[in-house]
A = this chain, B = another copy of it.
Amino acid sequence: MAPVTMVEAIREALDEEMQRDPSVVLIGEDIGVYGGAFKATEGLLAKYGWERVIDTPISETAIIGAAVGMSYQGLRPVAEMQFIDFIACCFNQMVNFVAKSHYRWGGPVPMVVRGPCGGGVHGGPFHSQNPEMWFVHTPGLKVVYPSTAYDAKGLLKSAIRDNNPVLCLEHKFLYRRVKEELPAEDYTVPIGKLAVRRPGRDLTIATYGAMTLHSLDAAEELAKEGIEAEVLDLRTLMPLDRQGIIDSVRKTNKLLVVHEDVRSGGIAGEIAATVNEQAFEDLDGPILRVTSLDTPVPFSPPLEERFLPQVADITRAARELARY
């Protein structure tokens, strides 16, 4: 098995699920003939035909609406947002139609919405956003955010098989930058379970997405200074693996949350509240956070670099916490 990139892993997941289950159909802009802006659906139209790989007009609300309708027919549509930023254009369908359907009247919505998110590629304010908290804060949705090719494939498969709407956030910076060999056989990654990427005893770094790589780099550096950071890759943001976080904090007694999302209202807050409620006694220091600035994502490289959390920001905060 040759190593595959994250975007290839995603394509494999779609392909294998479409092969396994004819209920799986794809819908989105430029996903058919073109194979998607990031080529995540390349080759799938040729294989599965026009009925299963549906190129739509530029209409995010219609894409999500139609996906809901198809899911009411027992299908399992996977909708692509060309960039996840455009999910704002179908926000109402997402939070009011999709998220509330099962609770309100027992209409299950087994659909997936996926798309590229995140910064670091000079995409500017409208092609770099991290929209996770709008949806983590909307009961009825599940949100996953992988950092490896293995997880991207396994979580997407779980999402497709889930009977609930799942938002799969794919960090575009990682699409072609992470690469690994994947198992030949079918596998899934469970929704709602974090992964300990590096064990440690001095503090816990809870993170996800592209920041997992930064955090691991930081942990490497910290280790040189004798600080052993445990790095948690959350993988799923809703349902959040609260127990997994608590378990780690019980061990290290210190918690640093790192996210690429903007600071105010980011998931660090939710984690801080949870740890306060469930493991306050175990804390030997304040819960700290390293995040992006509270601004839109700026375009120019020096501005974007300042905007995004850097490895040095993580090591600095971790050192402070370790010394506490």
A binding-site residues for B, Cβ under 8 Å: 85, 88-89, 91-92, 95-96, 99-100, 103-104, 125-126, 133-134, 136-137, 139-140, 238, 240, 262, 264-273, 276-277, 280, 285-289, 293-296, 298
Contacts and interface: CB of A to CB of B under 8 A. Distances in A.
A240 B99 CA distance: 28
Given A96-B85, A296-B100, A276 B286 contact: yes
Nearest to A61: B89
B265 A272 contact: no
28 contacts: A89-B92, A91-B92, A96-B126, A99-B296, A103-B125, A103-B298, A104-B125, A104-B296, A133-B133, A134-B134, A134-B137, A137-B137, A137-B264, A137-B265, A137-B266, A139-B293, A139-B296, A240-B264, A265-B270, A267-B269, A268-B273, A269-B269, A269-B270, A269-B271, A272-B272, A272-B287, A280-B286, A280-B287
Contacts of A267: 265, 269
Contacts of A272: 269, 272-273, 276, 287
Contacts of A140: 295-296
Contacts of A99: 296
A155 to B, nearest CB: 20
Contact of A287 (B271, B273, B298): B273
Contacts of A296: 99-100, 103-104, 139-140
Contacts of A95: 88
Given A100-B125, A272-B276, A289-B277, A136 B240 contact: no
Given A96-B126, A276-B286, A280-B286, A294 B139 contact: yes
A268 B274 CA distance: 10
Nearest to A257: B273
Given A137-B134, A264-B240, A277 B286 contact: yes
Given A139-B262, A139-B293, A269-B271, 8 more contacts: A96-B126, A100-B125, A137-B137, A137-B264, A238-B264, A240-B264, A276-B286, A280-B286
Nearest to A99: B296
A280 B285 contact: yes
A295 B264 CA distance: 23
Contact of A133 (B92, B125, B137, B240): B137
Contacts of A137: 133-134, 137, 262, 264-266
Nearest to A88: B92
A272 B265 CA distance: 11
A288 B270 contact: no
Contact of A265 (B96, B133, B286): B133
